[in-house]
């Protein structure tokens, strides 16, 4: 049986997500200015700090207190060797710090990302950049906003006139790195250029706000882009799998653009990577 969510509940869930994001943001800001204890996970570029872990632990407890029947998927509490238990139930998908490498190096593009799914679709998305005090919010069917300002994607219609956001990612597997470098070469030759902000959630918000026409990444996780994807879609963006099919939250790759034409032009010049599933 599918989950039914009323308009009143949707607003309640968004208000809750904003409340959580503000409190998580205070923890992130506090950790941002202090010396960090850094550990590595899958590679020397896959980092985690005490703040990542502390924020997620607090968020899990706060959600369980308010909505004990809801499910939770988070970066620091997910076993990378076990598939995510992703169901139709109301599920909070959280990245406590998206942009941990930025956080470690005191670069302010560090975000807290929180999406809520029902029937495997994102219905609420919040991305907060606490150091810059930028709060991006969205509810399905109700548009997206930054600090109350309504967002809209760029009106550019051609890839050759576009800025494309693309990240190197944390994988250091030679074949993966080589393919990404090949894709960077292709993008540079078919666009105005490339940008990388170090946070998938922020990259989606940039596209949502017309600050770049497209974003593609291979190797990210559902917690990196659940919230940002909705924010971009509600601002008018076209989201799909990089190979042109429907976007799958668990497939670890995504392409978003200001319009379908730019999205498909970008897809056509890429060499696609299969990064597995969450």
Catalytic annotation present for 165: no
Catalytic annotation present for 75: yes
Catalytic annotation present for 52: no
- Residue 158 CA to residue 190 CA, distance in Å, equals 10
pTM: 0.95
Q: What is the pLDDT along the chain (278 residues), one digit of tens a residue?
A: 799 999 999 999 999 999 999 999 999 999 998 887 788 777 777 777 889 899 999 999 999 999 999 999 998 888 666 889 899 999 999 999 999 999 999 999 999 999 999 999 999 999 999 999 999 999 999 999 999 999 999 999 999 999 999 999 989 999 999 999 999 999 999 999 999 999 999 999 999 999 999 999 999 999 999 999 999 999 999 999 999 999 999 999 999 999 999 999 999 999 999 999 99
**Which domains, ranges and CATH numbers included, belong to the chain?**
7-150 (3.30.540.10), 159-268 (3.40.190.80)
Catalytic annotation present for 98: yes
Q: Which of 52, 56, 76, 98 is catalytic?
A: 98
Q: Which of 75, 76, 109, 217 is catalytic?
A: 75
Q: Which of 49, 78, 91, 100 is catalytic?
A: 100
Helix (H) or strand (E) holding 260: helix 260-268
Q: Which of 28, 73, 93, 97 is catalytic?
A: 97
**Structure token pair of residue 116:** 């809520």
Residue found by looking up tokens 């799914």 in the block: 117
What pLDDT shows up at residue 82? 80
The DSSP-derived string for 200-251 is HHHHHHHHHTTSSSEEEEES--HHHHHHHHHHHHHTT-EEE-TTSS---TTS
What pLDDT shows up at residue 80? 67
Q: Which of 95, 217, 234, 278 is catalytic?
A: 95
């Amino acid at each position: 049986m599918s989950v039914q969510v009323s308009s009143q509940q949707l607003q309640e869930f968004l208000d809750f997500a904003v409340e959580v994001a503000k409190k998580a943001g205070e923890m992130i800001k506090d950790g941002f200015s202090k010396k960090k204890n850094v550990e590595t996970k899958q590679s020397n570029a896959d980092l985690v700090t005490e703040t990542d872990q502390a924020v997620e632990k607090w968020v899990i407890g706060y959600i369980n207190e308010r909505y004990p029947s809801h499910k939770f998927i988070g970066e620091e509490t997910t076993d990378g060797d076990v598939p995510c238990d992703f169901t139709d139930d109301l599920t909070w998908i959280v990245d406590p710090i998206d942009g941990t490498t930025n956080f470690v190096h005191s670069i302010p593009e560090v975000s807290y990302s929180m999406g809520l799914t029902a029937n495997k679709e994102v219905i609420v998305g919040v991305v907060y950049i606490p150091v810059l005090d930028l709060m991006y919010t969205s509810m399905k069917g109700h548009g997206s906003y930054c600090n109350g300002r309504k967002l809209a994607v760029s009106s550019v219609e051609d890839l050759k006139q576009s800025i494309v956001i693309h990240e190197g990612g944390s994988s250091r597997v030679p074949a993966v790195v080589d393919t990404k470098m090949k894709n960077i070469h292709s993008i540079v030759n078919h666009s105005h250029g490339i940008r990388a902000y170090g946070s998938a959630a922020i990259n989606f918000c940039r596209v949502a706000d017309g600050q770049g026409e497209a974003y593609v990444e291979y190797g990210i996780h559902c917690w990196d882009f659940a919230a940002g994807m909705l924010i971009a879609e509600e601002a008018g963006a076209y989201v799909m799998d990089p190979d042109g099919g429907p976007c799958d939250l668990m497939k670890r790759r995504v392409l978003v653009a200001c319009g379908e034409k730019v999205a498909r032009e970008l897809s056509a010049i890429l060499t696609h990577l299969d990064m597995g599933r969450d």
